[in-house]
Structure 1
Amino acid sequence: MVVGICVIELYIPRNGSLKGKRQVLQSIKTKIKNRFNVAVAEVGEQDLWQKAILGVTTVANDRSFVNEVMDKVVGFVSSFPQVQIVHHQLELI
């Protein structure tokens, strides 16, 4: 069993409130879950308007499959014009 954990730090430049941040993140999280069948949650910086940290995880039998899914998730998140990826980190256990 291989567990993939990806932490994605986001910058939301055109955001001016926590409500706006929640709307943007909820949309992104729902689309990630539906497309890749992974677990996603906001895991940090909940009180900042223009910064967010998402945690994404998945479990599989094949290490390369987990790595591929996480790479696709990061690429998918980078395709959203509302956010910019500041940093991401992948860990396989």
Structure 2
Amino acid sequence: MEGSGTLMDRPIVRGENHSSLPERLVILFVLLGVLASYDEINEFVQSTSGVASEILTIFLLIIMVPLLSDWLFRVISSITGMK
């Protein structure tokens, strides 16, 4: 884990100040969005899988939230020029 950042495969350069606040804010906003729209997400998962299971929805969210957060942070970083 030496040399890794707070999200997936994000290197830290020595001698450079690194704040994980932007990454944490992205994760926080994604989690808040998921919590606010959990019922709609659960209905979508149930209609596409044909299984009425909240455990399946939670399992998919455990996988998707970090992936979506990382992708969103990379998009924002490339737009703003942040490294």
TM-score by length of 1: 0.38
Instruction: Give 1 or 2: higher strand fraction.
Output: 1
Relative contact order, higher structure (CA 8 A, sep 6+): 1
Instruction: Give 1 or 2: higher helix fraction.
Output: 2
TM-score by length of 2: 0.41
